[in-house]
Amino acid sequence: MSPPLLRRARDAGLDVAARHADAVDRDARFPTEAFAALKAAGLLGAMVPRDFGGEGATLADIAAVCHELAQHCPSTGMIYAMHQIQVACVVQHGQQSAWHRTLLERLAAEQLLLASATTEAGIGGDVRSSSCAVEASGGRFRLEKNASVISYGEAADGILVTARRTPDSPASDQVIVAVLKDDCRLEQTVGWDTLGMRGTCSMGYRLSAEAGIEQILPLPYADISARTMLPTTHILWASMWLGIATDAVGRARAFVRSEARRKPGATPPGALRLAEATTMLNQMRASIVGAVRQYEEALGDADRLTSMGFAVAMNTLKVGAAQTLVRIVEQALLVCGLNGYRNDSEYSVARHLRDAHSAPLMISNDRILGNTANLLLVHKDTMGLFG
Q: Does 131 bind other proteins (CB under 8 A)?
A: no
Q: Does 123 bind other proteins (CB under 8 A)?
A: no
Q: Which amino acid is at 30?
A: F
Name the strands in the sheet holding 202-212, side by side, starting at the edge strand that comes first in the sequence: 135-137, 140-151, 202-212, 184-190
Size of the residue set binding other proteins (CB under 8 A): 28
CA distances from 189 to 26, 30, 43, 149, 194 (A): 22, 18, 31, 9, 16
When binding is defined by CB under 8 A, the residue of 32, 131, 172, 267 that contacts other proteins is: 172
Smallest gap from Cβ 130 to other proteins, in A, equals 12
When binding is defined by CB under 8 A, the residue of 1, 338, 377, 385 that contacts other proteins is: 377
Q: Does 375 bind other proteins (CB under 8 A)?
A: yes
Residue 279 CA to residue 190 CA, distance in Å, equals: 40
Q: CB–CB of 318/234 below 8 Å?
A: yes
Check residue 216 and report its DSSP letter: B
Smallest gap from Cβ 303 to other proteins, in A, equals 5
Q: Which amino acid is at 83?
A: H
When binding is defined by CB under 8 A, the residue of 265, 378, 384, 386 that contacts other proteins is: 378
Which residues sit opposite 158 in a β-bridge? 114, 180
Smallest gap from Cβ 217 to other proteins, in A, equals 16
Q: CB–CB of 200/151 below 8 Å?
A: yes
Q: Does 303 bind other proteins (CB under 8 A)?
A: yes
Q: Does 374 bind other proteins (CB under 8 A)?
A: yes
Smallest gap from Cβ 298 to other proteins, in A, equals 11
Residue whose CB is less far from other proteins, 303 or 344: 303
Q: Does 173 bind other proteins (CB under 8 A)?
A: yes
Q: Does 309 bind other proteins (CB under 8 A)?
A: yes
265: exposed, middle or buried (C-beta count within 10 Å: 0-12, 13-18, 19+)?
A: exposed
CA distances from 33 to 18, 200, 382 (A): 10, 14, 48
Q: Does 128 bind other proteins (CB under 8 A)?
A: yes
Residue 113 CA to residue 109 CA, distance in Å, equals: 12
Q: Does 226 bind other proteins (CB under 8 A)?
A: yes
Q: Does 364 bind other proteins (CB under 8 A)?
A: no
Q: Which amino acid is at 356?
A: A
Other C-beta atoms closer than 10 Å to the C-beta of 338 total 9
Smallest gap from Cβ 291 to other proteins, in A, equals 18
Q: Does 306 bind other proteins (CB under 8 A)?
A: yes
When binding is defined by CB under 8 A, the residue of 165, 181, 354, 367 that contacts other proteins is: 165
What DSSP letter does each residue of 192-234 carry, written as one string?
Answer: ---SS-GGG-EEEEEEEEEEEGGGB-SS-HHHHIIIIIHHHHH
Q: Does 379 bind other proteins (CB under 8 A)?
A: yes
Residue whose CB is less far from other proteins, 10 or 379: 379
Q: CB–CB of 273/194 below 8 Å?
A: no
Smallest gap from Cβ 287 to other proteins, in A, equals 21
When binding is defined by CB under 8 A, the residue of 122, 344, 382, 384 that contacts other proteins is: 382
Three-state DSSP state, 269? coil
Q: CB–CB of 180/157 below 8 Å?
A: yes
The region of 138-146, 166-174, 197-205, 285-293 touching other proteins under the rule CB under 8 A is: 166-174
Q: Which H or E element spans position 176?
A: strand 174-180
Residue whose CB is less far from other proteins, 1 or 377: 377
Q: Does 136 bind other proteins (CB under 8 A)?
A: no
The region of 2-10, 113-121, 153-161, 167-175 touching other proteins under the rule CB under 8 A is: 167-175
When binding is defined by CB under 8 A, the residue of 308, 334, 361, 369 that contacts other proteins is: 308
Question: CA gyration radius for the chain?
Answer: 21
- Residues of this chain that interact with other proteins (CB under 8 A) are 128-129, 165, 169-173, 220, 222-223, 226, 302-304, 306-309, 311, 371, 374-375, 377-380, 382
